[in-house]
Structure 1
């Protein structure tokens, strides 16, 4: 709860719940987020990147990079859902009603 301009207590936003729920950047979340980065970094060492290979009628490296971009989006959504679940569990355990108000 934070004081408002009128002096009355108002509920914190859900981002303040993140501050007290524990670590957000857990080793598992960091590892998941690093997978696309590692795939992009090893691209020059993969055999298809140095030869004129076509996948789906396009150069293999372009298809590979498109795959890593899509994978990045998917994995960051997985991480975000884990964080949202962590905040929801905190709010449920501490009696925070929907909308951020204390019950």
Structure 2
């Protein structure tokens, strides 16, 4: 923890964990996180987006975008789990976890 200008303590930057564990943004993690982005970008070219189609009584595009939101959250959780496993394998907790006494404190 470092002191800011106002005197309040601020958490240190997580560079220590990055320095010990290596790259956080690996090509595989970026590719996994990019899947929903690609699906959102191709939405206008999908057939159901150009026609007034209903899925379960809701416009198909809204259902598709809701699916993409859920997929984004799920894939970012997978990426986060990989980062946490990488940090744990190198025997060092992140500064945020050590500041509050661990992940499940």
TM range (shorter): 0.7 to 0.9
Tell me the CA shift for residue 17 of structure 1: 1.8
Q: 1:72 to 1:81 in 2, by over 3 A?
A: same
Tell me the CA shift for residue 47 of structure 1: 0.1
In the TM superposition, what are the counterparts of 1:66-77 in structure 2 within 5 Å? 66-77=66-77
Segments of structure 2 that go 5 or more residues without pairing to the other structure are: 2-11, 100-105
State the match for 1:6 in structure 2: none
State the match for 1:30 in structure 2: 30
The alignment yields a C-alpha RMSD, in angstroms, of 2.2
Q: Distance in 2 between matches of 1:43 and 1:99?
A: 42
Q: Per the alignment, in what secondary structure is the counterpart of residue 22 of structure 2?
A: coil
2:54 is equivalent to residue 54 of structure 1: yes
Of the two, which has the highest radius of gyration?
Answer: 1
Q: Per the alignment, in what secondary structure is the counterpart of residue 87 of structure 1?
A: helix
Question: Is the CA contact (8 Å cut-off) linking 1:14 and 1:87 kept in structure 2?
Answer: no
Tell me the CA shift for residue 72 of structure 1: 0.3
Tell me the CA shift for residue 41 of structure 1: 0.1
Tell me the CA shift for residue 29 of structure 1: 0.2
Instruction: Judge which range, 57-66 or 17-26, deviates more.
Output: 17-26
TM-score after normalising by structure 2? 0.72
Question: Is the CA contact (8 Å cut-off) linking 1:21 and 1:90 kept in structure 2?
Answer: yes
TM-score after normalising by structure 1? 0.74
Segments of structure 1 that go 5 or more residues without pairing to the other structure are: 3-12, 93-97
